Structure 1
Amino acid sequence: MKVANLDERIHVLDNSSNVMTVINEIAESGLQEEAFYVLDVGDIVKKHQIWKELLPRVEPFYAVKCNDSLTVLEVLASLGTGFDCASKGEISKVLSIGVDPSRIIFANPAKPASHIRHAAAVGVDITTVDNESELHKLKKIHPNAKVVIRIRCDAEVAQCPLGMKFGCDPNYEAPNLLRLSRMLDLDVVGISFHVGSGCQDPPVFYRAIRHARTLFDLSKDLGFKPYLVDIGGGYPGDTGTSIAKIAEVINSAIDEFFNTDDVQIIAEPGRFFVASAFTLATAIHSKRSVRNDKMSPNSVTNNMYYINDGVYGSFNCILYDHQHVVPTPLKNGCGKLIPSSIWGPTCDGLDQVVENVLLHDMDLGDWIIFKNMGAYTLPVASPFNGFPIPKVHVVVDENIWLLLKDLLPLTDDHFVIGNTPANLQLGLDIGGTKVDDWTNPPMGLSTSGIIGEPTQSSPFIYEYAEVEPIN
């Protein structure tokens, strides 16, 4: 596959470089003033290895909605994963990189008719259903569909519960859907469930797989030949988290209820693969020091930092995915820690990234890093108020590059050899060719520079004065 845009290329780093050295070099280069991401492809590859080791019977079908970056999809396709798609747009994007339609499950239980027609036209046959109207829709539009009945079995603790919207009752509704499928002459091939995104209740998988076994037996009694169990998503992916306990429960349940190679077990991991692979770098463009201590009117009681990404951009995950983001200053601070808050760039008062955190005093132009920003961030980001969505710089170390470079759909065109910052400057250009179009003067906005002598690098002129509180 030819890479038409150099923004999509994967930069191969030698042993002297890593994600943080790349971030440092870009931040200090003077070429980048907007927020940006660094995507570590090796992190995704390592997650895939962990999955195969801990869940050998379960084939991952990546949930595209979690992060539909073309690079992410291509890397996962090269590793042999399948894909969980929720719309005709996602189906088309996955097919465009050469994935076979049989490696896609259309796992949206409530689908617009036009999306079902598209799936039928391109050969995506496996699809989930949790209601009667969807079965009638399939009978009319896609009668050759391979139906997977989605049941509800909710985790007691989950980052994003899904049962309130999707999944039928396994004891009453699911048997009726199986009987209706039989009447409509639709082919039921399996059972699926989703315990909730970011599951913190491993035993729920045992309960759900047990329900699947019961419905498997009923579907056989009705004349179907089921072969598929889809155990959905819910697998944590942040740095420091583990799926080991969940895997132990799943493996035990599979051995108890589906101990046969005749049954294909798949899952729909999303955040597991990408959450820790993306690191976001943001810059402080404005700062407000609040002095509200009447006993010490010149002392700063808290700082408000305004950065160049917010809840309408990458940090939509705070609102929609219930994320708790952790700010880490790129430079080590000194002195006392000051109560601080971090705000996005828009004019909306809702645009608050961190409400209360202790930070060393920082200057304008300083960078704040946020790790674990790969899940449900970029796909939902918007350019509200005219602020751009952060660009993504993709890197990989040499060992992972040697593993991937000959695995389709990846080709030599996907990679560029060499360290930062020179080759990553190409990534600042929309077309990958004109670096100067994105070159900005150094920010030169440190408050220490404002107080002292003017610096040569700053294009701005300041007047600074201490102001007493207004009574």
Structure 2
Amino acid sequence: MTFDNEVELHKVKEIFPEARMVIRIRCDAAVAQCPLGMKFGCNPHTEAPHLLNVARALGINVVGVSFHVGSGCKEPAVFRKAIFTARQIFDYAATLGYNFNLLDIGGGYPGDHGTSIDKIAEIVNLALDDFFPDPMINVIAEPGRFYVSSAYTLACSIHSIRAVNVEDPVTGHNTVNYMYYINDGVYGSFNCILYDHQHIVAQPLKKHTGNKFYPSSIWGPTCDALDQVIDKTLLPEMKLGDWLVFENMGAYTLPVASPFNGFPIPKVHVVADENIWMLLKDIFPLSESHFVIGNTPANLRLGLDIDGTDTWSLPALPITIPVCGNGGLIEEHVLEFVGPIE
């Protein structure tokens, strides 16, 4: 488990003193799509030495260092700085008697169409050769966005159109701005706009003849005015039932989507080459046996086993719950479960 503050160390000491801990340091990219350092990571120079001394005094087993430069990193050189800083933490920990063997270099790797990981890979590999040549050091990463960002393409249909006449401040002439309402929005797949600072590009599914484009905005289906997918873009004149396509919709989209206002979460349709499908169709789904759990205390495993051998201890039923009613009077409500609990 990672830690970046003293409170977590005391909690671990009390609840799970056998844990193997990883100190998370902060080393932010100057430009990142989603900065993480403002929430996680200790200062490697002023805070990390103190935390490692506290961990040593508490007898906590710290085994390595982790960092995350920020999701969607636009500054490849920051990885070298972070890896060098991690080396300094490794060396300081050795003076306390620790023998670190884990380095987690986090994520932030590009995965959109037209991007490449080569530049970052070159910097990371060279930095590891320079600062962590020992093959006994386990180096791991968190390349989620790299794998899935361009794996999904979202297709949305236009269910309503509003044409608004807007006066051009320069010419004084009226121009038509189109507002297109589609069947997904920021409470669904496009939550990546709010929470991941994603730059969304809309493309008509069908090619339109002519080269006339109109100022347009794109809106989600809910009743909330915040539900705006794109504020300003240029599109040909679209019709009801036309489809808009959005690429690079695999990162931080569906996993955070909600059915707000009753609109369903989009269905996923797999498009694959026949040869690939033949390879994948009979593969069994992943189960707990595919993962190495390690030595986990029984109280943390309780109820988590897939085979259902462990179950949570439920109180005797029915349960009487005091509820505050009108006028502050206490009423009693009886809670009963009907049928099996799975």
TM-score bracket for the superposition, by shorter chain length: 0.7 to 0.9
Q: CA deviation at 1:365?
A: 0.7
What is the aligned partner in structure 2 of residue 146 from structure 1?
Answer: 20
Aligned length: 284
**Does 1 or 2 have the higher relative contact order (CA < 8 Å, sep 6+)?**
1
Q: CA deviation at 1:296?
A: 11
Residues 255 and 164 of structure 1: CA distance in aligned 2, closer, same or farther (over 3 Å): same
Q: CA deviation at 1:399?
A: 3.6
What is the aligned partner in structure 2 of residue 393 from structure 1?
Answer: 269
What is the aligned partner in structure 1 of residue 159 from structure 2?
Answer: 285
1:312 aligns with 2:191: no
1:227 is aligned, of 82, 97, 101, to 101
Q: Which amino acid aligns with 2:198?
A: Q
Name the TM-score, length of structure 2 as normaliser. Answer: 0.79
What is the aligned partner in structure 1 of residue 251 from structure 2?
Answer: 375
1:362 is aligned, of 234, 238, 248, to 238
What is the aligned partner in structure 2 of residue 179 from structure 1?
Answer: 53
What is the aligned partner in structure 2 of residue 194 from structure 1?
Answer: 68
Pairs within 5 Å for 1:1-400:
127-292=1-166, 301-335=176-210, 336-400=212-276
CA distance in 2, matches of 1:280, 1:168: 38
Residues 178 and 387 of structure 1: CA distance in aligned 2, closer, same or farther (over 3 Å): same
CA distance in 2, matches of 1:406, 1:258: 41
CA distance in 2, matches of 1:246, 1:150: 21
Residues 273 and 365 of structure 1: CA distance in aligned 2, closer, same or farther (over 3 Å): same
CA distance in 2, matches of 1:364, 1:237: 33
Q: CA deviation at 1:332?
A: 1.2
Q: CA deviation at 1:293?
A: 5.6
CA distance in 1, matches of 2:189, 2:46: 41
Write the deviation string for residues 62-116 of structure 1: whole angstroms up to 9, x where unpaired: xxxxxxxxxxxxxxxxxxxxxxxxxxxxxxxxxxxxxxxxxxxxxxxxxxxxxxx
CA distance in 2, matches of 1:292, 1:262: 66
Q: Which amino acid aligns with 1:206?
A: R
CA distance in 2, matches of 1:141, 1:204: 36
Contact 1:289 1:300 in 2 (8 A): no
For the aligned residues, what is the CA RMSD? Answer: 2.1
Residues 227 and 399 of structure 1: CA distance in aligned 2, closer, same or farther (over 3 Å): farther
Residues 293 and 155 of structure 1: CA distance in aligned 2, closer, same or farther (over 3 Å): closer
CA distance in 2, matches of 1:408, 1:384: 33
Q: CA deviation at 1:401?
A: 3.8
CA distance in 1, matches of 2:131, 2:158: 54
CA distance in 1, matches of 2:134, 2:20: 21
Residues 406 and 191 of structure 1: CA distance in aligned 2, closer, same or farther (over 3 Å): farther
CA distance in 2, matches of 1:408, 1:216: 41
Residues 235 and 329 of structure 1: CA distance in aligned 2, closer, same or farther (over 3 Å): same
Q: CA deviation at 1:209?
A: 0.6
Between structure 1 and structure 2, the one with the greater Rg is 2
CA distance in 2, matches of 1:387, 1:152: 39
Name the TM-score, length of structure 1 as normaliser. Answer: 0.58
Contact 1:404 1:410 in 2 (8 A): no
CA distance in 2, matches of 1:190, 1:251: 19
Q: CA deviation at 1:403?
A: 4.9
Structure 1 unaligned blocks of 5 or more: 1-126, 412-471
Q: CA deviation at 1:398?
A: 3.2
What secondary structure, in the 3-state scheme, does the structure 1 residue paired with 2:185 have? coil
CA distance in 2, matches of 1:175, 1:355: 47
Q: CA deviation at 1:291?
A: 3.0
Contact 1:149 1:190 in 2 (8 A): yes
CA distance in 2, matches of 1:334, 1:300: 21
Residues 406 and 314 of structure 1: CA distance in aligned 2, closer, same or farther (over 3 Å): closer
